[in-house]
Amino acid sequence: MSRLWNVAVVGATGAVGAQMIECLEERDFPVGEIRCLASSKSAGQVLEFRGKPVVVGELKHDSFEGVDIALFSAGGDRSREFCPSAAAAGAVCIDNSSAWRMDPDVPLVVPEVNPHAIAQYTKKGIIANPNCSTIQMVVALKPLHDAATIRRIVVSTYQAVSGTGKKAIEELRKQVADLLNGRPVNSTVYPHQIAFNCIPQIDSFEESGYTKEEMKMVNETRKIMEADIRVTATTVRVPVFYGHSESVNIQTERKITVAMARNLLKKAPGVRLVDDPAKGIYPMPSNTAGEDFTCVGRIREDESVENGLNLWVVADNIRKGAATNAVQIAEILVQKYLK
Ligand SMILES: NC(=O)c1ccc[n+]([C@@H]2O[C@H](COP(=O)([O-])OP(=O)(O)OC[C@H]3O[C@@H](n4cnc5c(N)ncnc54)[C@H](OP(=O)(O)O)[C@@H]3O)[C@@H](O)[C@H]2O)c1
């Protein structure tokens, strides 16, 4: 029998953590012991893995004894504080927060795009999982970049509330119910009402006027693609529960026609081409949520510039945008690197 690995899930009671546990199960990851960790208020709560109960423990510095892989999704502060302890105890951390993404000694990995970067995990014992919006965009763009060299990306996002975690899912649900019942709404997670609205602010603003989320898309894309691509982003929160959508405009060095793009995307790993506009077929959160694929459609030449192309890219932000990507990294780690 091949080796089993002890896996800690930090933030196991959250939106991403719960999906990580599900992904480990679905993908039949060779788990020996699973250790579910969260804050003190969840300690003692009982989750389930492969039909067996798992009691949630409180995240502490000594929580990682005997752990081989620690999947972190408990927010940046916890990752900053606890990844080094986990790494010191011998675990390789795969971190979903933004804490380590731009650290030059931490690889930022999307398995379909730069799996070779995983080798760099030895520097700090940490591998960063990119931002959800970045992951789906680079999965769709990598085959086009390899074929025609992308020079510039203009992206606008339509991001689901699950990207903000379980409290945001509850806020949208409650606001919709309140509004339909003629009650006033209360916003605590978002700066404005999210039900029946679009909020052109994700994360806080920087001095430049861009939000941190927008700059994550700019900087992470360049790091993952290992290319000097000019990127500009506008990120918007929309009242959708699961599934981020993106309007992506690219300019390439060499011309890429719609037919070429479709052919490349049809064969691309992790991509599903959903592009038959005459039949009203294109990706939407409603037909993508629950999938691990990044779905691409509405491919059109941008006639306003030379070598321009428009795409519509949708993926499940909790799965490919977070949990699935992390578990895929763990799979490569145990297949190629850990002994
Ligand atoms: N949602 C997404 O699409 C997405 C995508 C990519 C990355 N991420 C990142 O993943 C992380 C988690 O996101 P989420 O959406 O799952 O959030 P969430 O639903 O709010 O869950 C947060 C998790 O963190 C735990 N936690 C909070 N404070 C803690 C503490 N002091 N000590 C230990 N555990 C603590 C929570 O435990 P309790 O239940 O005990 O509070 C819960 O398990 C964030 O860093 C986020 O940026 C999220």
pLDDT, tens digit (0-9, with 9 covering 90-100), for 99-130? 999 999 999 999 999 999 999 999 999 999 99
pLDDT score, position 171? 98
Q: Kindly report the protein residue whose alpha carbon is nearest to atom 48 of ligand 1.
A: 163
Q: Say if ligand 1 is within 6 A of residue 130 CB.
A: no
pLDDT for 154: 98
Most ligand 1 atoms within 8 A of CB, residue of 73, 95, 314, 319 to mutate: 73
pLDDT for 256 beyond 90: yes
Count of all residues that appear for the chain in the document: 339
Q: How confident is the model at residue 339 (pLDDT cuts 50, 70, 90)?
A: confident
pLDDT of residue 2: 82
pLDDT digits (tens, 9 = 90+) for 159-200: 999 999 999 999 999 999 999 999 999 999 999 999 999 999
Banded pLDDT at 30 (limits 50, 70, 90): very high
Q: How many angstroms is it from 51 CA to the middle of ligand 1?
A: 24
Nearest protein CA to atom 45 of ligand 1, as residue: 75
Mean per-residue pLDDT, 304-323: 98
Mean pLDDT of the chain: 98
| pLDDT (tens digit per residue) in 46-82 | 999 999 999 999 999 999 999 999 999 999 999 999 9
Ligand 1 binding pocket includes 57 (Cβ within 6 Å):
no
> What percentage of the chain reaches a pLDDT higher than 90?
99
Looking at residue 113, what is its pLDDT?
A: 98
Q: What is the pLDDT of residue 159?
A: 98
- Quote the pLDDT of residue 105: 98
At 1 the pLDDT is 56
Q: Supply φ then ψ for residue 276, to 5 degrees.
A: -135, 75
Q: Is 38 in the pocket of ligand 1 (CB under 6 A)?
A: yes
Q: Whose CA is nearest to atom 44 of ligand 1?
A: 75
Tell me, using a 6 A CB cutoff, whether residue 321 lines ligand 1: yes
- The pTM for the full model equals 0.97
User: Among 39, 203, 318, 324, which residue has the most ligand 1 atoms within 8 Å of its CB, making it the best to mutate?
Assistant: 39
Q: Is 324 in the pocket of ligand 1 (CB under 6 A)?
A: no
Give the pLDDT score at 218: 98
pLDDT at 222 over 80: yes
